[in-house]
Amino acid sequence: MKHIFIKKDQAKPVFLLLHGTGGTERDLIPIAEHIDKDASILSLRGNISENGMARFFKRLQEGIFDEVSLVEETAVLHHFIDEAAKEYDFDRDEIIALGYSNGANIAGSLLMHHPNSLKKAILLHPMVPRRGIHYPKQLGTSVFIGAGTNDPLVSRQETEELVTLLKAQGIEVDTVFTNHGHALSNEEIEAANIWYHKKI
């Protein structure tokens, strides 16, 4: 997968950055560096092109995912992280995903399909990536969710459904709703920042 790796303090977790639709591997670097300037960064570009916009898996329409692509691309990402940990010599068990929108959805999909795929995750405006499957236990994992009460793509109900599903996997979930839409807000980034420093 196209990516950037920025090596920093090896005693810190490694941020796995996953952009939103039409983004690039550069988009979330300033946010990761704002949260912890000393943590290494593995930032990816989604493999799928939707009319030239990079994504991490195909969708049939807004909010309706192509499940075959979702499952395949999630496995590709999981394997890529395993290989990157060897190549760049970082601790595979200390990954913290930071994903926005489509990137948050594939991070959620990692948690729903692959045990021990992520130690922590900051999911900004995530949806429920997959319903109706057997979800693995992910004990010792914690997730921060940033959501918007006026998000036209993700209803409060969908955010709450995601929280319930993740908690049933044994994941500790903290959720912050801000009074915004689907775009990233400074408020949620500051809330994620506080959460991160409490957790590490």
Contact residues for ligand MLT, defined by CB under 6 A: 20-21, 59, 101-102, 105, 127, 153
79 is catalytic: no
Catalytic residue chosen out of the listed positions 19, 27, 43, 101: 101
At its nearest, how many Å lie between ligand MLT and the CB of residue 118?
17
CA dihedral 69, 74, 76, 79 (to 10 degrees): -160
**Rg of the chain taking only CA atoms, in angstroms:** 15
The reply to whether 155 belongs to the active site is no
Phi, psi of 37, rounded to the nearest 5 degrees: -70, -15
**Looking at 3, 66, 182, 185, which residue is catalytic?**
182
Q: Give 152: exposed, middle or buried? Use CB within 10 Å, 0-12, 13-18, 19+.
A: exposed
If the CB atoms of residues 116 and 185 are measured against ligand MLT, the closer one turns out to be: 185
Q: How far is the CB of 89 from ligand MLT (least distance, A)?
A: 31
Classified as helix, coil or strand, 136 is coil
CB of 46 to ligand MLT, least distance (A): 10
Q: Report, in Å, the least distance between residue 40 CB and ligand MLT.
A: 26
Comparing CB distances to ligand MLT, the nearer of 14 and 31 is: 31
Which residue's Cβ has the minimum distance to ligand MLT?
A: 102
172 in Cβ contact with 198 (< 8 Å): no
182 is catalytic: yes
Which residue's CB is nearer to ligand MLT, number 16 or number 127? 127
Q: State the Cα–Cα distance between residues 120 and 172, nearest whole angstrom.
A: 9
Strands 14-18, 95-100: parallel, antiparallel or unpaired by DSSP? parallel
User: Which positions are annotated as active-site residues?
Assistant: 101, 151, 182
